[in-house]
Amino acid sequence: MLATAAFLSAAPPSSDKQLSIYAPVATYTLPVQERSGHEYIGLLELLEPLGRVSSDSSGSRWRIRYNNVDAEFAGGKARCKIHGRDFDLTAPFQIENSRGYIPVASLTTLLPRFLGSPVNFHDNARRLFVGDTSIQPSFQLENGPPPRLVLNFSGPVNPTIATEPGRLRMVFKRDAVVSPGNSSIVFDNTVITQASYSETNGTAELDIDSASPLLATFGNGGKTITLAAAPTASASTSTAAQGTTPQSSQPPSAVAHKPLAVIDPAHGGDERGAALADNLAEKDVTLGFARLLRHELESRGFAILLLRDGDSSLTLDQRAGAANAARASVFISLHAASQGSGARVYTALLPVEGESRGTFRPWNSAQARALAMSRAVANAVVNELQKKQFAAHASPASLRPLNNVLMPALAVELAPGSNGIADLASANYQQQAAAAIADAVNSTRDRLGVQQ
Amino acid sequence: MIPRHLLLSVTAMLVLVIGMGFYARHMRHRALEFETTSAELPVAAPASGPTETVTLYVADDAAGVLRARAAQIPLPGGRQQRAEELLRALLRIYQQPGATHTLTPAADVRSIYLVDPGAAVIDLNAAFADQHRSGILTEQLTVNSLVETLAVNVPGVHRVSILVEGKTRDTLAGHADLTQFFDVQSVGQAVAAQ
């Protein structure tokens, strides 16, 4: 299930270039554009999850303000001004649809000027570490029998795990895992023979070579992964799972203790949602908000399926379909509005629908059986938001895809706080709301369960 | 040397030409303004009939609720026409300056079809939806306001569908789902619980 979640959350196809950013406040992935042989990244999208940011453009001039740092770029020019100082870019600045793109190779020069702190960029793999966020692995082999390899990490991790003949593969898409020192470690054991580390296209990978299939179990709050040779019966299951779709090799008990939350940043792509301000679209606020909520829920032990992790389009049916297929425990759709204040929490207002016949449920009222639990979660979210001084209220709304999902589902519409519209783009404001939602969902986790 | 009278004549003509230019521009602006205003005004004929007291459910954006408000409006005899005038009276409240929930002045109800048993179909004009503000709260308040006002004042309506220019539309302004029938009882419970 977790592997399916990770597979679905990869909004751009795996062949697309992407850049992963690991920062103390958020971990996220952005698509990389190629122009004239150079790789580019959207500067606004890059900074948005990290702090308060705004931009505007006039003609070929493009300005951005991140917290208290002002910068000015010019389309087609390889020179920019940040906080009054001139800097050279490795390739000309690009403006497309009022969005500014900087060369990826210039990140190490430019980002410290905005963030005021050093960054570590693995340019070959396009992995960017802001501050001290890297997670170091170490290995400890216990010869057994049966032999076990204990992997200790300096922080919690949640890799996608896949098996293939003679190898167990762990892909760290959202974890700031770095090299253990050597790219390859050989073990003096006939079953577990070697561990090798590699990183590419925004992800890190640990491959464990073994003579027999391995099973992974998590412990120590996600900081320890123990690999042991699988019993014979499990070995056949593992082999049967070899296909084009990666399958999780975590035992059912590990999965059962880690409920899956689906986060749906509403709108995206051509569908911008509400125009919250001249340069602030709802789709951008919901994405930043979703990334923060992902971080908050992950830190509380939830597995996450983020329905889009970039500016991509998804139909409402696709969103509901992905959540239902993943058999998630809870579905949270995120919206933003310029009217009202605080936050509104919505559950489905079900339409008039015929009786359910047999096993199948009507698509437009699939939510019916989970509605009572949805309301319980929504009330918990309202309570937590109010504790954090948000004006909050729960009510039903005819809002898709809430009525199409089988699991408890709610939508949160974030509205301005005391600072007006500026709050909606504020990472701090979003962070408080995300923490309240995560606390509330976590408080109901015992009642969520895994959907059948 | 240019004669003095020729210089004066040319200057006077130049002043006249510039003045006419400004006047023409002013008149063009007024004409456009009149055209826009005329196009935005609803063209429904004023209702005639005995005045009746009805209950309108008026949205309040700031509080996020509907408030029941008694109003006296002339209602025609036919059931369908009564329903249309009822919602037009509601829309007029939203189109007044300082309204607690606003709709564009061009928003109108094209017609309402009452289909037995118990179904009502509200057909809105394009301006109603195209110029509606986007957001879950504001869109849902509009929908609830239309459905509840209709259901309370027109007996026998159990489910309501909303069309725009005679066609099904996915959402009102990006959020409120318009593809399904609204269950009057569910909407009523939501309004009562607010």
Q: Is pLDDT at A9 greater than 50 in this prediction?
A: no
Q: Is pLDDT at B44 greater than 50 in this prediction?
A: no
Can you tell me which residue has the tokens 């570490």? Answer: A129
CB contact under 8 A, B135 and A398: no
Mean pLDDT over residues B98-103, rounded? 93
What pLDDT score does A327 carry? 84
The whole model's pTM is what?
0.56
Let me know if residue B46 belongs to a domain.
no
Q: Which helix or strand (DSSP H or E) is residue A265 part of?
A: strand A260-265
Residues 6+ apart with CB under 8 A from B77: B49
- Going by pLDDT thresholds of 50, 70 and 90, the confidence category of residue A256 is very low
- Going by pLDDT thresholds of 50, 70 and 90, the confidence category of residue A11 is very low
What pLDDT score does B29 carry? 75
Contacts of B61 in chain A (CB under 8 A): 339-340
Contacts of A413 in chain B (CB under 8 A): 135-137
| Dihedral in degrees, nearest 10, Cα atoms A260, A5, B171, A313 | 150
**Do residues A308 and A268 lie in contact, with contact meaning Cβ atoms separated by under 8 Å?**
yes
Q: Is pLDDT at A247 greater than 50 in this prediction?
A: no
Let me know if residue B152 belongs to a domain.
yes
What pLDDT score does A351 carry? 73
Residues B76 and B144 in one domain: yes
* A19-70 pLDDT, tens digit each: 999 988 888 888 898 888 899 999 988 888 888 888 888 888 899 988 888 9
Mean pLDDT over residues B169-179, rounded? 94
What pLDDT score does B32 carry? 61
CATH T-level assignment (fold) for domain A260-351+359-448: Aminopeptidase (3.40.630)
Query: What are the strands of the beta sheet with A99-103, ordered from one edge?
Result: A33-35, A38-42, A99-103, A94-96
CATH number of A137-249: 2.60.40.3470
- What are the start and end residues of each CATH 2.60.40.3470 domain in chain A? 137-249
Which domain range does residue B20 map to? 1-40
What pLDDT score does B33 carry? 62
Find, among B47, B50, B51, the residue nearest to B80 by Cα: B47
What percent of chain A shows pLDDT beyond 90? 29
Pick the CATH number of A2-130 from 2.10.109.10, 3.30.870.10, 3.30.457.10, 3.30.200.20: 3.30.457.10
Lowest mean pLDDT among A321-330, A394-403, A426-435, B56-65: A321-330
For A302-340, give one letter per residue: b (16+ CB within 10 A) or e. bbbbbbbbbbeebebeebbbbbbebbbbbbbbbbbbbbb
Q: What is the ipTM metric for this complex?
A: 0.73
Mean pLDDT over residues A205-233, rounded? 76
For chains A and B, CB pairs below 8 A equal: 85
Token pair recorded at residue B1:
């040397």
Q: Is pLDDT at A143 greater than 70 in this prediction?
A: yes
What pLDDT score does B104 carry? 94
pLDDT, averaged across chain A: 82
A344 to chain B, any CB pair closer than 8 A? The answer is yes
d(CA B120, CA B182): 10
Bridge partners, B70 (sequence order): B55
Angle, vertex CA A143, rays to CA A140 and CA A146, nearest 5: 115
Mean pLDDT over residues A126-131, rounded? 89
Q: Is pLDDT at A373 greater than 90 in this prediction?
A: yes
What percent of chain B shows pLDDT beyond 70? 90
What pLDDT score does B46 carry? 52
Nearest chain A Cα distance for residue B162, angstroms: 12
Nearest chain B Cα distance for residue A385, angstroms: 17
Q: Which helix or strand (DSSP H or E) is residue B21 part of?
A: helix B4-40
* B54-84 pLDDT, tens digit each: 999 999 998 889 999 999 988 887 888 889 9
What pLDDT score does A345 carry? 95
- Going by pLDDT thresholds of 50, 70 and 90, the confidence category of residue B99 is very high
Domain count, chain B: 2
State whether residue B8 is helix, strand or coil: helix
Query: What are the strands of the beta sheet with A53-58, ordered from one edge?
Result: A53-58, A61-66, A69-74, A79-82, A85-88
What pLDDT score does A10 carry? 37
What pLDDT score does A238 carry? 28
Q: Is pLDDT at A315 greater than 90 in this prediction?
A: no
d(CA B108, CA B129): 10
Could you tell me the sign of the dihedral formed by the alpha carbons of A147, A152, A156, A158, in that order? Answer: negative
d(CA A414, CA A426): 12
Q: Is pLDDT at A439 greater than 60 in this prediction?
A: yes
A399 to chain B, any CB pair closer than 8 A? The answer is yes
Residues B158 and B93 in one domain: yes
* A77-86 pLDDT, tens digit each: 999 998 888 8
The backbone torsions φ and ψ at residue A274, rounded to the nearest 5 degrees and listed phi first, read -75, 145
Residues B57 and B36 in one domain: no
CB contact under 8 A, A398 and B182: yes
Nearest CB to B175 within list A353, A396, A399 = A399
Q: Is pLDDT at A415 greater than 60 in this prediction?
A: yes
Which residue, among A316, A398, A412, would best test binding to B if mutated, counting the most B CBs under 10 Å from its CB?
A: A398
* A42-51 pLDDT, tens digit each: 998 888 888 8
Cis peptide before A145 (omega within 30 of 0): yes
- What are the start and end residues of each CATH 3.40.630.40 domain in chain A? 260-351+359-448
